[in-house]
Structure 1
Amino acid sequence: MNPPASKVAVFLHSGDYDRVHQGLAIAASAVASGRRVEVYLFWWALERFLQGRLDAPDFHPPREDVADRFETRRIPTLRELLEHLAESGLCSIQGCTGSLGALGAEQSTEGAPIDGWVGWSAILQRTAGVVDRFYL
């Protein structure tokens, strides 16, 4: 009998497309292997989700060569990765209430692809003992 797979925690702070993509790709790899994942959104990553900027790669500084490669190689967008994560039933996307307040974006939460809202006390409890943590 195999022991249950450990949980993975992904902390997304940066809103840069490449960092958010990397974090969601890590989460997708984990759920593909049957592991539970919790993704926590802070500051600029949270802002990207609230603004719905999940479809077209927007690199800064601009990298048309990389953006073109994303399209020609059919690399999934942030939205497609999120859909995969939701369909798996193994991933939860959580927004930080402190970051939400700091951004002044409380009115922007409707329709955002976020499963719940948590503060640091809950985050610390939920991730206690989690060995696989990724900070981007």
Structure 2
Amino acid sequence: MSDRVSTPDNRVVVFLHSGEYDRVHQGLSIAAAATAAGRRVEVYLFWWALERFLLDRLDEPDFAGREDVADRFEARGMPTVRALLEHVRDSGLGTVAGCTGSLGALGSESKAGDSGIDVWLGWSAILQRTAGVADRFYL
């Protein structure tokens, strides 16, 4: 019998596929809450979420057909996607990774270097890095 106690991986992983503002905001809200609790976070960007980052569309809430929500969102001083991202980055506990396959499918290789994304990975590396993580969120 071993004296070592096995502890589960305490990281939080957020997979963002949709580029809709509400989903990206929710994913980064989860990431910000986790880092505030002292947990490491990895945010993985795919397809339309990646495109939102590459196009630097992180500041203005754009809820298609729901201007009432956008107005309330701003009136209540809700943080933007950029503000949440800055919280995650400033914590020193977060990593933002972009999927190389999605980058290629979007034809956006030229924007990769200026994106602010910490690391570019393919699925094999993503699967290795996230193995054993219990707290995974898919948006």
In the other structure, the counterpart of 2:94 is 91
Q: TM-score, normalised by structure 2?
A: 0.92
Contact 1:9 1:39 in 2 (8 A): yes
Match of 1:107 in 2: 110
Equivalent pair of 1:31/1:91 in contact (CA under 8 Å): yes
Matched, 1:22 2:26: yes
Unaligned residue ranges in structure 2 (runs of 5+): 1-6
Structure 1: 4+ residue segments shifted above 4 A = none
Corresponding residue SS for 1:95: strand
Question: Normalization by structure 1: what TM-score?
Answer: 0.94
What stretches of structure 1 of length at least 5 have no aligned partner? none
Cα offset, 1:113, TM superposition: 2.5
Q: Percent identity?
A: 71
AA aligned opposite 1:59: F
Name the count of aligned residue pairs.
Answer: 133
State the Cα distance separating 1:94 from its structure 2 match: 0.2
The residue that corresponds to 1:124 in the other structure is 127
Query: Match for residue 82 of structure 1?
Result: 85
Instruction: Please tell me the root mean square deviation across aligned C-alpha atoms, in Å.
Output: 1.2
Find the residue that maps to 1:69 and give its secondary structure: helix
SS at match of 1:131: strand
> In 2, distance between residues paired with 1:100 and 1:90?
24
